[in-house]
Structure 1
Amino acid sequence: MNAQASDIVQNPWFERLARCGHIVSGVLHLLIGYIAIRIALGKGGSADQSGAFRELTSKTGGTLVMWVVMVAFLALAVWRLVEGAVGKRSESKEVSVMDRVKAFSLAVLYFAFAWSAFTFAKGAGKSSSEQNAGLTARAMESGIGKLAIVVVAGVFIGVGGYHCYKGISKKFMKDLKSPGTVEETLGTIGYTAKGLALIGIGVLFIAALFTEDPGKATGMDGALKTLREQAFGTILLVVAGFGIAIYGLYSFVMAKSAKM
């Protein structure tokens, strides 16, 4: 099984396709950042993955683009699965438990993005905010469901905290082949901004549980829009939007220079 997995990562064309997944992720984060800034300026939109997909599908050739997005995310998801199983091709060290957990978690995330892209390509895409609120409402109907909400919130807060740590400590530099000053700046800002957004999502899940208001659990869109309700909210949301967009730029760096 490991030999077959290694054959996959040794294929240069598959690697190129997987790197396209980073490019697609970059475009999505740029769109989410743009939508967040637009919301800060008083215009509508959904500052999350579904909002970005909706922006793409609204353009000429948008359906075809979504099929491309789906394939790119599938390739990146499979690559992460293989990475979790046998490690990175560029590294000979034994894969640690933490490395496996991170790789498999990213694989699940990219599979979810691929599925969402598929639904939009088929014309059946739905708002992530509405889906999150609906799932939270159903989960609140049972004790196990409430526990699941706490776990999900903890995952978001934990992953967000790790993103902040990775950005501030510059640990992401180890993921790149030949990082320089530009890559360091983009990664520091991008990882920190995205980490704070993920922490915000987790906090909103906890708030939804304690206030018994599932409408609070609306994912990244809800976390960003909550910023706008605070003092200096417009400025905070603009800054957050730029930070997420910068993470999008860093994704382009990963597409070119990430160790795979």
Structure 2
Amino acid sequence: MNPFARLGANTIERLARFGYGARGAVYGVVGILALLAAIGSGGQAGDSRNALRTVLGGPFGAILVGLIAIGLLGFALWRLVEGATDADRRGTSPKGLAVRGAHLISAAIYGGLALSAASLSLGLGLGGGDGTRDWTAWLLAKPFGRWLVALIGLGVAGGGVGFLLKAARGDVTERLALDRGKLRWAKPLGRFGYGARGVAFLIIGAFFVVAAWYQRSSEAKGLAEAFALLRAQPFGWVLLGIVAAGHAAFGAFGLIQARYRRIDAPDIDKADDAVARAVRAAT
């Protein structure tokens, strides 16, 4: 094998592992803050950007947020490579193509979060306004925009169903290189985390469907509002506490993925070609 090709593959693998760790750190903070809010011990049930602000306010905050930004960018690049090159060998079945498409969407989301983290680390802030509602309003103003927003909502909710099924089937550790003993504690952690993310995705997807139904961008909401909806229910602090703890578990599971996930990364030249083809196809 060409040693330079192996070096390129190793670079992608390192970026992917750093990315899983950064994503895990962000959702770990999200879950812990929401759990503290649920039990009335301070904290704020917010989204990933709230978590970044919290990290920034701690010791070495700017450095840590900067490292998270680099990690999230690495994760976005890995998701792009996954979707474009089929690095995980999902295939071209409808399910495989759906997963690869979701990875491409994930690449865009985490790329945006990486930019927000970098901006925050450099003291530039996270930008004004509500990005979700802004682009929802932009879409609603377009022909067929209402249907596009509804499709986005259904897609998000579908992702939630996928997470819940993954948690129920227990195949969250299928790509982890762990022995049987470690799997006994890693699997329940991952199932709990994916289950909590599934609940959050279902609620967020419903928000977008409601926004499309009423044609009001103000109805398009994110994770912070999903937490708030849970808290407003009877015994809401219990519901919020469970879902918050699940997000913390999802964050911890991300750290496990950073260390033990099997990553069959292509060399950089092949990845570049595949990504370029994907971009051309999209445009």
TM (norm. structure 1) is 0.85
**Which digits, 9 at most, give the CA deviation of each residue in 1:181-233, with x for residues without a partner?**
11111111111111111111011122233345433322011111111111111
In structure 1, distance between residues paired with 2:205 and 2:164 = 14
- Counterpart selection for 2:240 from 226, 237, 257: 237
Matched, 1:124 2:127: no
Q: How far apart are residue 18 of structure 1 and its match? A: 2.3
Partner of 1:208: 211
Partner of 2:229: 226
Asked if the contact 2:161–2:202 (Cα under 8 Å) also holds between the matched residues in 1, the reply is yes
SS at match of 1:200: helix
From the superposition, tell whether residues 175 and 128 of structure 1 become closer, same or farther in structure 2 (CA, over 3 Å). Answer: farther
What pairs with 1:95-244 in structure 2 (closer than 5 Å)?
95-96=91-92, 97-98=96-97, 99-126=99-126, 130-178=130-178, 180-244=183-247
Asked if the contact 1:66–1:117 (Cα under 8 Å) also holds between the matched residues in 2, the reply is yes
Question: Kindly, what percent of the aligned residue pairs are identical?
Answer: 26
Structural RMSD (CA):
2.7
Q: Which runs of 5+ in 1 are unaligned?
A: none
Partner of 2:74: 75
From the superposition, tell whether residues 197 and 127 of structure 1 become closer, same or farther in structure 2 (CA, over 3 Å). Answer: farther
In structure 1, distance between residues paired with 2:32 and 2:64 = 19
Partner of 1:58: 57
What is the aligned length?
253
In structure 2, distance between residues paired with 1:181 and 1:66 = 33
Asked if the contact 1:21–1:73 (Cα under 8 Å) also holds between the matched residues in 2, the reply is yes
Asked if the contact 2:132–2:220 (Cα under 8 Å) also holds between the matched residues in 1, the reply is yes
Q: Which runs of 5+ in 2 are unaligned?
A: 264-283
Partner of 2:15: 17
SS at match of 1:171: coil
TM (norm. structure 2) is 0.79
Asked if the contact 1:208–1:214 (Cα under 8 Å) also holds between the matched residues in 2, the reply is yes
In structure 2, distance between residues paired with 1:85 and 1:136 = 27
From the superposition, tell whether residues 102 and 146 of structure 1 become closer, same or farther in structure 2 (CA, over 3 Å). Answer: closer
From the superposition, tell whether residues 129 and 204 of structure 1 become closer, same or farther in structure 2 (CA, over 3 Å). Answer: farther
Asked if the contact 2:26–2:51 (Cα under 8 Å) also holds between the matched residues in 1, the reply is yes
From the superposition, tell whether residues 218 and 124 of structure 1 become closer, same or farther in structure 2 (CA, over 3 Å). Answer: farther
From the superposition, tell whether residues 161 and 6 of structure 1 become closer, same or farther in structure 2 (CA, over 3 Å). Answer: farther
Asked if the contact 1:48–1:128 (Cα under 8 Å) also holds between the matched residues in 2, the reply is no
Q: How far apart are residue 32 of structure 1 and its match? A: 0.9
